[in-house]
Amino acid sequence: MINDILKDAEDRMGKAVSSVEIAFNKIRTGRAHPSLLDPVKVNYYGSETPLSQVANITVEDARTLGISPWEGNMVPEIEKAILKSDLGLNPSTTGNLIRIPLPALTEETRGNYFKQAKAEAENGRIAIRNIRRDANGTLKDLVKEKEISEDDDRRAQDQVQKITDKYVAQIEERLAAKEKDLMEI
């Protein structure tokens, strides 16, 4: 029973860290990376489809992404989807190849992106603390129902805290790596 609570808390905390990683991938650094276009959805025969499923995305150089649609008639749809996304990117087309030059980051935009990364990390830490609170509340309920002893409750809460510390540290590591990426010129 206690193991189930601990396993559930650990699974949910892992998902919180994953969601922070996804949020970090959306924050642009100075380098081109195909994951920048992950949130872009293209109208593909009436359904919203991820860009990576209708085109090949490559890194041409440090500041340029190249997109090769698998179908030539998708070029205008892809351009429209990129412009419509809130990424601030301007595609240029030559034939069936779409190039996306990434503008250099100014010191101000780097600072804003870092603030955004810190906010995402804080949201992840809050989610992890909420999961800890839920697990501890469930343990307290088990003590009230006399299904576990108070000693078992104390040991389980210590384990929940260790799990919490582990996942908060993972978020901190990812934030430090993102800061390093953002501050590179």
| Nearest by Cα to 91 from 118, 57, 116 | 57
Tokens representing 174 are: 């990812």
Express each pLDDT in 142-173 by its tens digit.
889 888 888 888 999 999 999 999 999 999 99
Whether the model pTM is above 0.75: no
Residue 29 has pLDDT above 80, yes or no: no
Domains, in order of start, for the chain:
2-26+106-183 (1.10.132.20), 34-101 (3.30.1360.40)
| pLDDT, position 101 | 87
Sorted by sequence, the CB contacts under 8 Å of residue 99 that are 6+ apart come out as 60, 64, 65, 66, 67, 91, 92, 93
| pLDDT, position 36 | 79
Strand, coil or helix: 66:
strand
Percent of the chain with pLDDT over 70: 98
More confidently predicted of 31 and 128: 128
Long-range CB pairs of 10-18 (<8 Å, 24+ gap) are 10/163, 10/167, 12/131, 13/128, 13/131, 13/163, 13/164, 13/167, 14/167, 16/124, 16/127, 16/128, 16/131, 16/167, 17/124, 17/128, 17/167, 17/170, 17/171, 17/174
| pLDDT, position 185 | 60
What is the average per-residue pLDDT within 10-15?
93
**Separation of alpha carbons 112 and 49, rounded Å:** 30
Express each pLDDT in 50-109 by its tens digit.
888 888 888 888 788 898 998 888 888 888 888 888 777 888 888 888 888 887 778 888
Express each pLDDT in 104-137 by its tens digit.
778 888 888 889 899 999 999 999 999 999 999 9
Range scoring the smallest mean pLDDT among 13-22, 26-35, 48-57: 26-35
